[in-house]
Every structure is written in C-alpha cells, then in structure tokens.
Amino acid sequence: MPWLRLLLYFIVIAFVTWALTQMELASPGSLKLHILLSEADRFGTSEFSPVEIIQAIILGVCGVIMWWVALYCPSQRTVAILFGGMALAFLIRELDYFLDRYVIDNFWQVIIAIVGSLIIAYTFRHRKRTQITFARIWPSPGLTLLFAGAVILFAFVRFVGHEPLWMAILGDDYRRIIKLAVEEFIELIGYFLWMIGTIEYALQARAITMAEPQPAARRRRDKRRQDAEGRF
C-alpha cells in the first residue's frame, strides 16, 4: 500500500508539472508569471498565475488535513495545530497581493503576526505535551517530508530566487520573469513535498490513534452500540 501511494504521488506531481509546462508551450504567456495590471505598474505580479493558484490550493488542503488530525487524533493534536497554523500562515502570505490590493495595505502582515503569536503561545503552553507527541510519532516519514518542504520554502528558494543573484548571472540580459519562473516552480515542489508530508503524517497519526488503548467509557459505549445493533 505505501508503494501504491508513492506511485500516486509521483503521477500527480508529474502530471501537474507536465500540464503547466505544456500550457506555456502551447500558448506563451498563459502561465501569467509576470503581468502588468496598469501602465504605472513597474514590477508586475505573478499572483494570477496557475502556479500560484495551485500553491494556495495545496496549502488549503494541508490546513484541512491538519484540522482533521487535531479533531480526530487527540494524541497528535498539538503537532497538528502547529503545522496547521504554519499552513495557514503560508496561505496568508501567498494571498498578500490580494489582501494589499482589495483590503488594506500590509494587512496580511498583521494577520500573520496574530496567527504566529497564537501558534507560539499554544506550542509554548503545551510544550511538554508537544515533546511527548513528537517522541510518540518519531521516526516519521511525514514529518521528514514536511521538514524537507520547509527547507526548500524557507531557505533554498529564498537564496536561489534572490533577484540580485539573477541580475549578476544574466547581466544585461536580465529579465524579471526568469527569476519569477525559477522561484515559483521551486516553491511549487516545496509545497508538493509539504502536502505529501501532511498526508503521510495524517495516516501515521490515524494508525497511532487506532492502536492506542481506548478509554473505558468509549469501550462501554461501543459495546452498547454493538449490542443494540445485534438485536435487529
């Protein structure tokens, strides 16, 4: 079964990447990695790109999965809330352009500050329980992939996607769309790893929860339910 999931992950990532590249090859500019919304717009934006839309969808899916783990896997609740909050912060960051344009300028920074403060406060308050939760689930393929995705998103893409680097590499041939294309596709693979890690973590958390001894009250309730069903 794990091998089947790995094959499915490979097929999905390969298909999405192939579809995005073929879209651009069939109709140059269709990825909208650098569009100018007005004549006064000097920098342009890639926020309307299908690549960025997919990134936002992935973060939404990760948040929902972590919410499910927090709700139905009590022993993993603290870790699920931690990573779910991080997915929410990432999503807010991805929507910064729209929040700046249609709500209030720099409003996304305020939201991220609030979300980040709540995550830090919750994790600190339940730090012992969080340590126990990590110890209970480690080693974890899911957490390893989450870490790999975080390395790409927080470290690798920040250096490789740095605009002065591409100015130095391309010199007089520099075009901002090249830097944006490299940056967004690297971010996409980071988010793919984050999603796979989230799915694998949720499956492992569910397995741990099912293997844990059930409280006596729950056992009695399940027994009464089975007895009631057996009468009919």
Given a contact cutoff of 8 angstroms between Cβ atoms, the answer to whether 198 and 142 are in contact is yes
Around Cβ 61, how many Cβ atoms within 10 Å? 16
Query: How far apart, in Å, do the first and last CA atoms of the chain sit?
Result: 36
Whether pTM exceeds 0.85 = no
Mean pLDDT of the chain: 83
3-state secondary structure at position 79? helix
pLDDT in tens, 127-139: 888 888 888 888 8
Q: Read off the pLDDT of residues 68-84 as tens digits, 9 standing for 90 and up.
A: 988 888 888 888 898 88
